[in-house]
């Protein structure tokens, strides 16, 4: 990088101060809403985390979430309210990483702040009375996945991210899926397939599934919830199909939340990402668009849409996707110039 380009990309001290201020403000707002919602069931949330370490979680499906309970346990040494302190630290970390990713993608303080505020607002709206500690780490993983998807051409960064996430949630398999799609997507663009990426992606998926199954079957002793015991239902794959219930939720809505609006927005954002990636022959953008579309659709099939906490880990990546599509792709710049010319006049886009 030449000195002129490096100087242009460097963030000014005032820009750093502005982003730090936004991080503090957004973190405080998020924490206040989160703490208010969870004050009445904090012991139960701690029990869910501690149960993983003792082999007696609420459900068998929690057993592979080892990383976050161990991290949360460290906070017992510094506070009598470990989950509160954990939440403060990880909300700050999430917002800090989001700012780093947004600035790395856009090189503009205004767009970085916009991504942070949008993510924070959606996160607050999706505050759920029973959010688990591993939801925080999932948010960090997904945010980093988008940055790596756009900026990294190698395999090693994704392997490192997989290692960090494999003991957090089974969604680590989507990192392997991205590598497969990244390697195979050139075929749709009239290019040669990247065999190395496909091979690594397949290997990561196999490893992720194997680790998840081994942990669930060997470390799980019994559920701490009354009447659950061995939790044999969660040992059966078909127990996790909830698409019929979720179809009703999308059709009639859910009390207190507009689930249909949130979920449809997420699907549309990632479908647009997929379309733009294909149109512009950007294989990484195409691959991450398909990956996150499938991730979102998996919630419809296996998750429960009423649990809006499922969307909180996605707020960072969806805000990054929107900002990137609007301001860093030729299609977005053309659409913005036609439909949102005021953004250009206010200096929010490069000319």
* Tens digits of residue pLDDT in 123-160: 999 988 888 899 999 999 999 999 999 999 899 999 99
Q: How confident is the model at residue 254 (pLDDT cuts 50, 70, 90)?
A: low
Nearest-angstrom CA–CA distance, 287 and 12: 34
**42's tokens:** 């904090």
324/55 Cα distance (integer angstroms):
42
Distance from C-alpha of 57 to C-alpha of 51, rounded to nearest angstrom: 4
Q: What does the mean pLDDT of the chain come to?
A: 88
User: What is the mean predicted confidence (pLDDT) over 222-246?
Assistant: 78
Task: Summarize pLDDT for 106-119 with one digit per residue, the tens.
Answer: 999 999 999 999 99
Q: What does the radius of gyration of the chain's CA atoms come to, in whole angstroms?
A: 21
What span, in angstroms and rounded, lies between the C-alpha atoms of 103 and 95? 12
Whether pLDDT at 8 is above 60: no
**Residue 7: per-residue pLDDT:** 45
Exposure string for 235-266, b = 16+ CB within 10 A, e = fewer: eeeeeeebeeebeebeeeebeebebeebbeeb
> Contact at 8 Å (CB) between 100 and 338?
no
DSSP H/E element including 165: helix 156-165
pLDDT of residue 336: 84
**Cβ 115 vs Cβ 22: under 8 Å:** no
Q: Write the CA distances from 165 to 37, 112, 141, 198, 272, integer angstroms.
A: 27, 25, 7, 20, 27
* First and final C-alpha spacing in the chain: 21
∠ Cα 255 258 262 (to 5°): 145
Residues forming a β-bridge with 254:
257
With a cut of 50, say whether residue 6 has pLDDT above it: no
Closest to 133 (Cα-Cα) out of 314, 299, 312, 318: 312
Q: What are 334's two structure tokens?
A: 């053309």
- Using CA atoms, how far apart are residues 7 and 10, in angstroms rounded to an integer? 5
Mean pLDDT, residues 81-108 taken together: 96
């Amino acid at each position: 990088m030449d000195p002129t380009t490096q100087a242009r990309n460097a963030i000014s001290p005032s820009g750093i101060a502005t982003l730090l201020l936004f991080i503090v403000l957004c973190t405080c707002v998020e924490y206040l809403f989160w703490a208010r919602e969870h004050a009445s069931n904090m012991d139960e949330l701690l029990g869910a985390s501690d149960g993983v370490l003792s082999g007696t979680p609420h459900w068998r499906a929690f057993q592979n979430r080892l990383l976050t309970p161990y991290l949360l346990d460290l906070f017992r040494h510094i506070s009598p309210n470990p989950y509160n302190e954990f939440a403060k630290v990880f909300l700050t970390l999430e917002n800090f990483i989001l700012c780093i990713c947004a600035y790395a993608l856009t090189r503009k303080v205004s767009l970085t702040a916009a991504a942070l505020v949008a993510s924070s607002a959606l996160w607050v709206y999706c505050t759920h009375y029973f959010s688990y500690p591993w939801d925080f780490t999932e948010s960090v993983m997904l945010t980093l996945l988008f940055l790596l998807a756009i900026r990294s051409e190698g395999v090693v960064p994704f392997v490192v991210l997989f290692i960090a996430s494999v003991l957090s949630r089974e969604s680590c398999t989507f990192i392997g899926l991205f590598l497969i799609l990244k390697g195979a997507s050139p075929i749709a663009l009239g290019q040669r397939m990247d065999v190395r990426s496909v091979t690594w992606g397949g290997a990561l998926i196999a490893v992720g599934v194997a680790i998840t199954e081994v942990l669930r079957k060997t470390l799980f002793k019994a559920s701490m919830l009354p009447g659950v015991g061995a939790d044999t239902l969660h040992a059966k794959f078909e127990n996790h199909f909830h698409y019929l219930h979720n179809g009703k939720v999308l059709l009639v809505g859910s009390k207190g939340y507009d689930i249909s609006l949130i979920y449809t927005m997420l699907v549309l954002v990632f479908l647009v990402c997929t379309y733009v990636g294909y149109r512009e022959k950007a294989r990484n953008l195409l691959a991450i668009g398909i990956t996150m579309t499938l991730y979102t659709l998996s919630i419809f099939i296996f998750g429960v849409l009423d649990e809006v906490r499922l969307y909180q880990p996605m707020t960072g990546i969806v805000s990054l996707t929107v900002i990137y599509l609007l301001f860093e792709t030729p299609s977005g710049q053309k659409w913005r110039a036609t439909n949102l010319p005021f953004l250009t006049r206010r200096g929010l886009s490069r000319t």
